[in-house]
Structures are given as C-alpha cells and as structure tokens.
Structure 1
Amino acid sequence: MSQEGYDKLVAELKRLESVERPKASAAIAEAADKGDLSENSEYDAAKEAQAHLEAKINDLKMTISQAKIVDVSRLSTDTVQLMSTVTMTNLTTHRQMKYTIVSESEANLKQGKISIKTPIAQGLLNKKVGDDVEISIPRGKLRVHIDGIAIEA
C-alpha cells in the first residue's frame, strides 16, 4: 500500500479509538441509566453499535499490522503492477480510461483507484505499453489497448 493510504488508515484508527469509542461508551451509559436493561432497546442498540465499532477497530489494526508500504521510487513503468497508473483505450467504445492499481483498503473508484483484486487490475498486471488485452469482467469481455504506464507519487 502507499504511504498515503497507510497514513489514512492510522488516522482513521486514532479517530475511532479517541472519538468514536468514548461516544459509544457514553451512549451505553446513558441508555443504562434509563432503567431495566432487559427491555431497554436503546441499551441493546448502543451495545450493538459498540460491537460494530470494536470489530471495525480490530479490522483496521489487523490491516495496519499486515501492511507493506511500497516505495514508489523503486517501481518501474515497464509493466503494470501495484501502484501503476494505467492509461488505456477501450477497443470497443474507443473511450480512454485511467486507473491506478492500489491495495484493497485504498480502492476508491471516484478517484480512479481500483483494487488489485478486481478483474480489470488482474487482467492488466504484468502487461506492457502497446499491449492489447482482453479481460473477463462480470458483464462479459473488456478489450483495451494499454496507452501508458506511470507511477504517480
């Protein structure tokens, strides 16, 4: 993953632990003050929200602990790989597309960042500029011509 992606995950973890966790505890305490816990749906909802929050915190901790930060200065533009920004032309519609291949946790289609686990990314890996590639996607086949490969720091 990129350093930027890693930093965002660490910041999100800090926010969840320092802001959201105390809010969840306060919501449970407030609901508990309202009396009989056996019939207190507000208490049950607060406990469930806390459980979801703790699961999210644990997932983030696991992702961060297993993260490997990619040194983009050592990457090559010879072939498509993780962190490559690929410019390509759809051979059917002749429209140009541009995607950056990133880790799953950094994927954001609105920013043009696709997970390395997507069919498009998998179909592009190890391809070179000038290659015509046919990729199996859920809607059928996507045929593209690779116009350029860049590494954007």
Structure 2
Amino acid sequence: MVEEKKHYMTLEGKQKLEDELEYLKSERRKEVVERIKVARSFGDLSENSEYDSAKEEQAFVEGRISQVENILRNAVIIEDDGNNTNVVSLGKTVRFVELPDGDEEEYTIVGSAESDPFEGKISNDSPMAQSLLGRSIGEKVTVNTPGGEMEVEILEVK
C-alpha cells in the first residue's frame, strides 16, 4: 500500500479547509444540482451548452471535495514546541534581508496545502523554505530560485 503524502498545516489552515469542505458539501453541491435541473429543462442535452457547463462545474466541485477530504485525512498539525526560537522551522515566521540590495522580506513557512505567497505564507517544499529551514538568526544563506541564486541573511525568527 502506498503511503499518502502528509499535509503539514496550522490549526488555522485546517479550520479554513474544514470550512471550505462544509461550504462545498452543503451549498455548492445544491447550487450545481439546481443548475443541472434548470439546464435539463431546456431540452435536447446533446446540444445544450448550459447542461455541459453545469456538469463540468459539478465535476470540479466533486473533485475539490475529494481533494480537500484527502488533505484533511492526511493533515499533520504544526505545533510550536517553544524550543529554539532562533532556528527556522515549519510554522515559524522568518524575516530576512536580501544581500546586497537590502530588501527585507518576511514569510511564514507552512505546508503546501496552506501556502499563499500573497499572504506571506510559503510552502515548506519551496526553494526558499528549503534553504531557510534549520538555519539560525544571523546566518547567510544561498537560495536557489527559478530566477537564479540569491543570498539572504536571517534577521528574525518568531
């Protein structure tokens, strides 16, 4: 039996997924079923674009439900152990400066299911996080990004 991938996330991230799942099952499913009913009333299904569109939407919703259920089934909650606040680890926020230009950035390292770079949350699988994990305040780290190498210095871990 193949072992399922573990999905690391915070309690907040897990709650968000649980809320999404509840919404998909209780509201979106009903909306899509209603769209299908209405589209069927238009007649011949072989040339009914409304029906085809509703069925595609139903497939998307059911796929997302399955995906979220799988993520939740394999969720591993990131807990702050309170130890070694100077070392970058999963669930912690790291502030660093790009060298030599001095641009400061701050990211929280989370699991891939919860990542959202626009909210300052990067996946533990990303090149940036992989380079920072296990490193300490004051360390200079070379990060291999798709755009090339960059060097950063870790300023703060919280």
TM-score range, shorter chain: over 0.9
Deviation at 1:78, TM superposition (A): 3.6
Q: 2:49 aligns with which of 26, 41, 51?
A: 41
Which structure's residues are more often helix, by fraction? 1
Structure 1 distance, partners of 2:121, 2:108, is 5
Deviation at 1:120, TM superposition (A): 0.4
Structure 1 distance, partners of 2:149, 2:45, is 56
Residues 1:137 and 2:145 aligned together = yes
Residues 1:118 and 2:126 aligned together = yes
SS in 2 for 1:114: strand
Q: 1:107 aligns with which of 106, 111, 115?
A: 115
Aligned residue pairs total: 150
Runs of 4+ in structure 1 over 6 Å off: none
Q: CA RMSD, aligned part only?
A: 1.2
> Residue type of the partner of 1:142?
M
- Alpha-carbon contact 2:138-2:155 (below 8 Å) kept: yes
Residues 1:146 and 2:148 aligned together = no
Provide TM-score, normalisation by structure 2: 0.90
Provide TM-score, normalisation by structure 1: 0.93
Structure 1 distance, partners of 2:110, 2:86, is 17
Deviation at 1:99, TM superposition (A): 0.8
CA pair 84-111 structure 1, distance change in 2 beyond 3 A: same
Q: Structure 1: any 5+ residue segments left out of the alignment?
A: none
Name whichever of 11-20 and 69-78 sits farther off: 69-78
Structure 2 distance, partners of 1:75, 1:100, is 17
Q: Structure 2: any 5+ residue segments left out of the alignment?
A: 1-8
Structure 1 distance, partners of 2:65, 2:84, is 35
What residue in structure 1 maps to residue 87 of structure 2?
A: 79
- Alpha-carbon contact 2:86-2:156 (below 8 Å) kept: no
